[in-house]
A and B are shown apart, each in its own frame.
Chain A
Amino acid sequence: MRAVSVEEAVAMIPAGASIMVGGFMGVGTPERLLDEVVRQQKSRLSLISNDAAVPGKGVGKLFDATLVSRLTASHIGLNPKAQQQMLADQLAVDLVPQGTFVERIRAGGCGLGGVLTPTGVGTSVAEGKRQIEVNGTTFLLETALRAQFALVHAFLADYLGNLTYALTARNFNPVMAMAADTVIVTAEHIVPVGVIAPDHVMTPAPLVDYLITNR
C-alpha cells in the first residue's frame, strides 16, 4: 500500500477506464475521490455501482458532470439525470438484479468465471444467457465482473491499509476491494496499526494499493 494525495490517485485513472465504486444510494461512497474525478474531468467512464444515487451525492456527481458512458447497476430510479442520459442514448445501462450484481463482483474477485443463480430465470434478465440445470433446478449463468479500478470508502484504515467499515456504509465496498486491478481507498479515519484488531479487519491490507491521505 502507498499513501497518496487524492489528486495523484485520480491522475492514474485514464479517461474511458472501468471503475467500480462502493456505496448504496451514496452511503459508503468515496466522495473525495469522486469530487476529484469530476475536477479532472475523467470522461467516458464505464461505471459499476449498485445505483446512480441522487444528483449531487455519491456517484450522482459523475452523472451531473456527464462523465459516464456505460453503467452497470441494479437501480437508477432515484437519479433523473441518469435516466435522462439513458433515454437520450448518451448512457448505456445494464440493469442487473442486486444479488446477482454483488455475486458477479464477488466472483470476479475470487477467481471464478461466474455464478449460477435462480434469480431472473424466465424473466427478461435471462435473455441471451446460458441456463444450466443442477439437480433439477434451472439457474442462469452470470459471468464475473471486474474493473480496472475500485474506489472504496472505509471507516478506519490503518497505516498498512487494513480496513473496517461502519454500519450500512459497508455494502459493496469489501467485495469491490477484491475485484479490481487497482484499489484506491478513502477512510473516515486513518489510525495506527493495531487499532483495528486482527479479528475486526474486514479488508486485509495487501488488497489495498493506494490510501488517500488526509487533507
Chain B
Amino acid sequence: MDAQTIIARRVARELHTGDLVNLGIGIPTLVANYVPPELTVFFQSENGLIGTGPVPEQGMAHPLLTDAGGRPISALPGASTFDSAISFGLIRGGHVDVTVLGGLQVDAHGHLANWMIPGKMVPGMGGAMDLVSGAKRVIVAMQHAAKGKSKIVAKCTLPLTSTRPVSLVVTDMAVIAFPEGKATLLETAPSVSIAEVIAVTDAELVIPDTVPEMRI
C-alpha cells in the first residue's frame, strides 16, 4: 500500500455518520474514497455545496458545478448549495465537524503551517485559516517527511496557518495527537517501529506505554 493510501484510509476511520466534513486538496481529497458505505457523511465543498459526489461520467459534467479547484463534480441526493458567506459561516461558526488538510509543517505543540513558503510559493491561504480556526476537529493528512526532512518539527519555521493547535496528524508512519500541548505518538503504521518514527521526527515525541499499530 502506498503512503497516500495508508494516510487516506486511516483518516477515513475518524469520520462518523452525520459528520459534516471538509476535505482539502491533495491527500485529503482521497479520504472520500475510503469512507465505509454504511456511513452517511456530508462532504462540503467551500465554494458552496454540501453533498459533493464523485466526478460525473463522461459527458455529464455541468460547468456550474465544480469543486474548490474548479474541477467538475456531482451532487448527491439531498445536496444543498449556498453562497460563500454561508459556506464560511459554516466553517468559522463551528458547524463543520471535521476538516482534513494537507500540511507543510506541524510543530511539537500542534501548530500547522500549510499556506506559504516565503520567497518560493505564495499562493494565498484560501480557506485554510478559517478551517483551522473554526472546524470542530482539524486533522492534518501529510507525508511524515519530505525529501528526507521531517515535517513534524520542534517549531514551525514557515508562517503559521493558525495559533489553534490541530487535533490529529496522520502520516504514512504514525498518528500523532497533542494532549496537554505535547506531540504524542498514538499509533504507528504497519511494519513501522516506534524507533523508526522517532528517528524521522524532528519534534520531541511523548511515547505512551502502549502504542498500537494503525488499523487501516
User: In the assembled complex, how far is the CB of residue B155 from the closest CB belonging to chain A, in whole angstroms?
Assistant: 14
A75 lies within 8 A of B124 (CB): yes
B70 lies within 8 A of A118 (CB): no
Chain B residue with Cβ nearest A126: B163
Q: How large is the interface on B (under 10, 10 to 19, 20 to 34, 35 or more residues)?
A: 35 or more
B84 lies within 8 A of A172 (CB): yes
A86 lies within 8 A of B63 (CB): no
> For residue B69, which residues in chain A have a CB less than 8 angstroms away from its CB?
25, 78
Q: Contact string, A59-85, partner B, CB cutoff 8 A, digits 1/0? A: 000000000000001111110000100
Does A135 have its Cβ within 8 Å of any Cβ on chain B?
no
Instruction: Report B155-193 residues with CB < 8 Å from chain A CB.
Output: 159-163
> For residue A26, which residues in chain B have a CB less than 8 angstroms away from its CB?
70
Chain A interface residue count, CB cutoff 8 Å, equals 47
Chain B residue with Cβ nearest A58: B70
B70 lies within 8 A of A25 (CB): yes
> For residue A196, which residues in chain B have a CB less than 8 angstroms away from its CB?
none
> For residue B133, which residues in chain A have a CB less than 8 angstroms away from its CB?
117-121
> For residue A125, which residues in chain B have a CB less than 8 angstroms away from its CB?
125, 129
Instruction: Report B90-143 residues with CB < 8 Å from chain A CB.
Output: 91-92, 121-130, 133-134
Does A98 have its Cβ within 8 Å of any Cβ on chain B?
yes
Q: Is the interface of B mostly helix, strand, loop or mixed?
A: loop
User: In the assembled complex, how far is the CB of residue B99 from the closest CB belonging to chain A, in whole angstroms?
Assistant: 12
Instruction: Report B24-56 residues with CB < 8 Å from chain A CB.
Output: 45-49
> For residue B70, which residues in chain A have a CB less than 8 angstroms away from its CB?
24-27, 53-54, 78
A24 lies within 8 A of B92 (CB): no
B66 lies within 8 A of A25 (CB): yes
Q: CA–CA, A75 to B125, complex, Å?
A: 6
Q: Contact string, A83-121, partner B, CB cutoff 8 A, digits 1/0? A: 100100000000101111011001000000000011111
> For residue B66, which residues in chain A have a CB less than 8 angstroms away from its CB?
24-25, 27, 168
> For residue A99, which residues in chain B have a CB less than 8 angstroms away from its CB?
88-89, 91-92, 127, 129-130, 134
Q: CA–CA, A202 to B81, complex, Å?
A: 12
A98-B163 contact given A25-B68, A171-B83, A172-B83, CB 8 Å threshold: no
Does B60 have its Cβ within 8 Å of any Cβ on chain A?
no
Instruction: Report A7-47 residues with CB < 8 Å from chain B CB.
Output: 24-28
Q: Which of B69, B91, B126 has the most CB of A within 10 A?
A: B126
B124 lies within 8 A of A174 (CB): no
A27-B88 contact given A97-B125, A167-B81, A168-B81, CB 8 Å threshold: no
Q: CA–CA, A95 to B134, complex, Å?
A: 19
> For residue B87, which residues in chain A have a CB less than 8 angstroms away from its CB?
102
User: In the assembled complex, how far is the CB of residue B94 from the closest CB belonging to chain A, in whole angstroms?
Assistant: 11
> For residue A121, which residues in chain B have a CB less than 8 angstroms away from its CB?
133, 163
Does A186 have its Cβ within 8 Å of any Cβ on chain B?
no
User: In the assembled complex, how far is the CB of residue A160 from the closest CB belonging to chain B, in whole angstroms?
Assistant: 21
User: In the assembled complex, how far is the CB of residue A83 from the closest CB belonging to chain B, in whole angstroms?
Assistant: 7
> For residue A155, which residues in chain B have a CB less than 8 angstroms away from its CB?
64
A175 lies within 8 A of B92 (CB): no
Chain B residue with Cβ nearest A54: B70
B62 lies within 8 A of A167 (CB): yes
> For residue B62, which residues in chain A have a CB less than 8 angstroms away from its CB?
167
Instruction: Report B69-90 residues with CB < 8 Å from chain A CB.
Output: 69-70, 75, 81-85, 87-89
Does B65 have its Cβ within 8 Å of any Cβ on chain A?
yes
> For residue A100, which residues in chain B have a CB less than 8 angstroms away from its CB?
129-130
Q: Which 6 A-B residue pairs are closest in the complex by CB-CB distance?
A: A77-B123, A99-B88, A25-B70, A122-B163, A99-B130, A169-B64
Residues of A within 8 A of B (CB): 24-28, 50-51, 53-54, 73-78, 83, 86, 95, 97-100, 102-103, 106, 117-125, 155, 165-175, 202
Can you name 20 A-B pairs with beta carbons within 8 Å? A74-B124, A75-B123, A77-B121, A77-B123, A98-B130, A99-B88, A100-B129, A102-B84, A119-B130, A119-B134, A119-B162, A120-B133, A120-B162, A123-B159, A123-B161, A125-B129, A167-B62, A168-B49, A168-B66, A170-B83
